[in-house]
Chains A and B, each alone.
Chain A
Amino acid sequence: MNSISTDICIIGAGPVGLFAVFEAGLLKLRCHVVDALPQVGGQLSEIYPKKPIYDIPGFPDILAGDLVRNLMRQIEPFHPTFTLGERVERFAKLEDGSFQLFTSDGTEILCKTIAIAGGLGSFEPRKPAIEQLENFESGKGVYYMVRDPETFRDQRLVIAGGGDSALDWTIFLADVAKEVTLVHRGTTFRGAADSAEKVKKLHDAGKVNLVLSSNVTHVHGNGQLNAVTITANDGTTAQLPVDSFIPLFGLTPKLGPIEDWGLELEDNAVKVNTLDYSTSEPGIFAIGDINTYPGKLKLILCGFHEAALMCQGAFKYINPDKKYVLKYTTVNGVPTL
């Protein structure tokens, strides 16, 4: 198991998380940055690296990807460390007020404070609105993603959805499962044309059942899923015995595990005190798009401001007896860490 020790653990390597490393560095606080994505930059790298941003002070326009590169250069003097491609799952507060964080891959991070800079959160499977669906999660027959295809060996499967992942998994699992039924509310598939073609061929060959213009509307079972109801757009219903049901309706940003950390939330965001962007849990701060407060604006430049104030709060949390005096980089340059 990896174990890392730092002053501030920043969750989220987007622009705001990265800039927080700089502001922390000015106060001689060390940072470790964790992100579920395999690269730094958050949305800027993942979603719009080639898009220009026009509201970064001092830059009439800058490509999102260039802003990330610049931020990485700016924080280099402070030698931040990174854990990328892992999601922070849970935390424990230790007796001395410091924290222990655990990632999805078993990395353990000891830190004096936590700064959540998680942006939109993490992209997680969208769940269809079907009553009782959650009762069959965690291995009881409903799966929102395919982690290990072998789970479905020789099973009777119903897959729902019309996008690429629904098509791809239908094709793949046709060879693994005993029976695959693909349920799609439309009559055509927008996914990659050759995938749609392959599904059609598998259907013609009798290897896949295709139920179009229909939705899965009910799930049944006693502890373990054993059937689903499929309702056609004309209102007719049919019950189908199944071992597993895999709804594949794309991904949507969610708070993720942070939702269960006991922090005060509002509208899917973490409530903070704008004095220092502290959350309801002393020692845990939240900055950038993931937080909310009266007048909140989801702008990168606001996140930068929040990062600066957050670091003052983190410094005070770590050093309750020291009085910090703000120094200007124009006076002192950038300190070394």
Chain B
Amino acid sequence: MTEDVRVYVEEAPGQRREIVGPTDMGLSLMELLKANEYDIQATCGGMALCGTCHIEVLAGPALDEPSDDELAMLESLPVMSQGSRLSCQIRLTERLDGLVLRLMPQTT
């Protein structure tokens, strides 16, 4: 039995919503956010090609470094911050527990 993982979405300053997801389904953070009805297009389906699942990590456990493909995509976006990540490139594992993030504005 694997544990569920809890992540927190900052929907407005100081206002965080807890969302819970399974860690045994090979989901990405993008898929968890979409399943919780966050407005993420994820046009490319998780291949780091469209940049529409852009999030900012605000606090929580250290994540694996982004791949070159992910960095290249982030770098090309009009907006990027220190904690910028593509949520489709982050696997949902126990190690994510306690992660705090916010959605970044979508540019299309």
Residues of A within 8 A of B (CB): 47-48, 120-121, 126-129, 160-163, 185-186, 190-191, 215, 247, 249-250, 252-254, 267-268, 289, 298
In whole angstroms, what is the CA distance A311 to B83 when docked?
A: 48
Asked whether B27 is an interface residue with its Cβ less than 8 Å from the other chain, the reply is no
Asked whether B59 is an interface residue with its Cβ less than 8 Å from the other chain, the reply is no
Asked whether B108 is an interface residue with its Cβ less than 8 Å from the other chain, the reply is yes
In whole angstroms, what is the CA distance A47 to B44 when docked?
A: 11
For B50, the chain A residues whose CB sits under 8 A away are 120, 252-253
Q: A126-B108, A190-B72 are in contact. Are A247 and B43 (CB under 8 A)?
A: no
In whole angstroms, what is the CA distance A128 to B44 when docked?
A: 19
Tell me the number of A-to-B contacts counted with CB atoms below 8 Å. 65
Q: Which of B9-17, B74-82, B85-93 contacts A (4 or more CB under 8 A)?
A: B74-82
Residue of A47, A161, A190 touching B71 (CB-CB under 8 A): A190
Residue of A126, A268, A298 touching B107 (CB-CB under 8 A): A126
* 4 extra A-B contacts, CB within 8 A, seeds A129-B107, A268-B41, A268-B43: A120-B50, A126-B77, A126-B108, A249-B77
Interface of B is mostly: loop
For B75, the chain A residues whose CB sits under 8 A away are 162-163, 186, 190-191
Can you list 10 A-B contacts (CB < 8 A)? A47-B49, A48-B47, A126-B77, A127-B108, A163-B72, A190-B72, A249-B76, A249-B107, A253-B44, A268-B41
Residues of B within 8 A of A (CB): 41, 43-45, 47, 49-52, 71-73, 75-80, 105, 107-108
In the complex, the chain A residue whose C-beta lies closest to that of B79 is A185
For B41, the chain A residues whose CB sits under 8 A away are 267-268
Q: Are A249 and B78 in contact (CB under 8 A)?
A: yes
In whole angstroms, what is the CA distance A120 to B51 when docked?
A: 13
Q: Are B78 and A215 in contact (CB under 8 A)?
A: yes
Q: Are A252 and B51 in contact (CB under 8 A)?
A: yes
Q: A252-B52, A253-B50 are in contact. Are A129 and B43 (CB under 8 A)?
A: no
User: What is the CB-to-nearest-CB distance from B50 to chain A, in angstroms, rounded to a whole number?
Assistant: 5
Q: Are A128 and B49 in contact (CB under 8 A)?
A: no
Q: Are A252 and B79 in contact (CB under 8 A)?
A: no
Closest 6 CB pairs of A and B: A250-B76, A128-B78, A163-B76, A190-B75, A249-B78, A252-B50
In the complex, the chain A residue whose C-beta lies closest to that of B73 is A250
For B43, the chain A residues whose CB sits under 8 A away are 120-121, 252-253, 268
For A191, the chain B residues whose CB sits under 8 A away are 75
In whole angstroms, what is the CA distance A173 to B43 when docked?
A: 33
User: What is the CB-to-nearest-CB distance from B23 to chain A, in angstroms, rounded to a whole number?
Assistant: 21
In whole angstroms, what is the CA distance A121 to B71 when docked?
A: 23
For A190, the chain B residues whose CB sits under 8 A away are 71-72, 75
